[in-house]
A and B are shown apart, each in its own frame.
Chain A
Amino acid sequence: QVQLQESGPGLVKPSETLSLTCTVSGGSIISYFWSWIRQPPGKGLEWIGYIHYSGGTHYNPSLESRVAMSVDTSMNQFSLKLSSVTAADTAVYYCARHISQGGTVMDYWGLGTLVTVSS
């Protein structure tokens, strides 16, 4: 059974860079697309972007100028960096795997990690 686990600081200062890593276990990162999604407390879901195991990426246009994703196939991990954060970036951040049939549809999700932006 594929499992995903987000890790990273739970508190980030305004204007700094949020950095998270997703570790995949029970399956290979190879041959799949992987997404980051976030959810502000009490609000809905926002797709941040995806990365292919080969390194190809696509980001939500509304966040594109601040987002960077990378992948490390040797560690079965992929990562998210979001720069110049503000309080509006406070959210639970999820990593997820895309279905094999194609499209930005996520069938396996991590438990999520809360990142708070505050000084």
Chain B
Amino acid sequence: EIVMTQSPAALSLSPGERATLSCRASQSVRSNLAWYQQKPGQAPRLLIYGASTRATGIPARFSGSGSGTEFTLTISSLQSEDFAVYYCQQYDRWGTFGQGTKLEIK
């Protein structure tokens, strides 16, 4: 089983700041990596797939990078609606999620 590890577990930032979230795979997943955003009481929302391709309707302030075992989700300038939990997911072998990073308002 491929284990996905996200860091940090929680991140406190202010609106307008840049957020950098990390995700590490226990073995190479090539570029088969997706990012999701989840708000309380809601289903996850797909942000990024293929490590760097934004899903339909996702604002340009969200960007993804990386390949192999190291991946990053960057939010260039945080908006109030961006404070949520973010999950990475590998789909190179089936589908495994990371444990999530909670992005909180400072």
Q: Which residues of A contact B (CB under 8 A)?
A: 35, 37, 44-47, 58, 60-62, 94, 96, 99, 101, 103-107, 109-112
Find residues 30-77 in chain B having any chain A CB closer than 8 Å to their own CB: 32, 34, 36, 42-46, 49-50, 55-56
Interface of A is mostly: loop
Residues of B close to A103: CB separation below 8 A = 32, 34, 49, 91
**In the complex, A109→B42 CA distance in Å?**
10
- Closest Cβ neighbor of B48 among chain A residues: A105
**In the complex, A101→B48 CA distance in Å?**
13
A107 and B94 contacting across the interface, CB-CB below 8 Å: no
Residues of B close to A94: CB separation below 8 A = 43-44
Say yes or no: is B83 at the interface (Cβ < 8 Å to chain A).
no
Among B36, B44, B50, chain A packs the most CB atoms within 10 A around the CB of B44
Query: Nearest Cβ in chain A — how far from B32, in angstroms?
Result: 6
A35 and B95 contacting across the interface, CB-CB below 8 Å: yes
